[in-house]
Amino acid sequence: MSALTTRRNGREGSTGSAAAQLARRARAFLDQHATERVTLEALAASVGASPSHLQRTFKRVVGLSPAEYARMKRHQQFKSAMRNGKTVSEATYEAGFGSSSRAYENAAGALGMTPATYRKGGDGMEIRYAVTPSPIGRILVAWTDRGLCSVRIGDSQAAVVASLRSEFPNARFKAASEVSPFAAAMLEHVTGDRPEIELPLDIRATAFQLRVWRALKQIPYGET
pLDDT in tens, 13-31: 444 588 889 999 999 999 9
Instruction: Give me Rg for the CA atoms of the chain.
Output: 18
Instruction: Please check the confidence at residue 196 and state whether its pLDDT lies above 60.
Output: no
Instruction: Please check the confidence at residue 60 and state whether its pLDDT lies above 50.
Output: yes
Q: Which pTM value belongs to this model?
A: 0.68
pLDDT in tens, 126-183: 998 888 887 778 888 888 888 778 888 888 999 999 999 999 999 999 998 665 455 4
So what's the pLDDT on residue 189? 54
Q: Which long-range contacts (CB under 8 A, 24 or more apart) does 158-166 make?
A: 160/131, 161/129, 161/131, 164/127, 164/129, 164/140
CB-side neighbour CA atoms (13 Å) of 115: 27
Report yes or no: 88 and 99 within 8 Å, Cβ to Cβ.
Answer: no
Query: What domains are defined for the chain?
Result: 14-119 (1.10.10.60), 126-217 (3.30.160.70)
Report yes or no: 38 and 29 within 8 Å, Cβ to Cβ.
Answer: yes
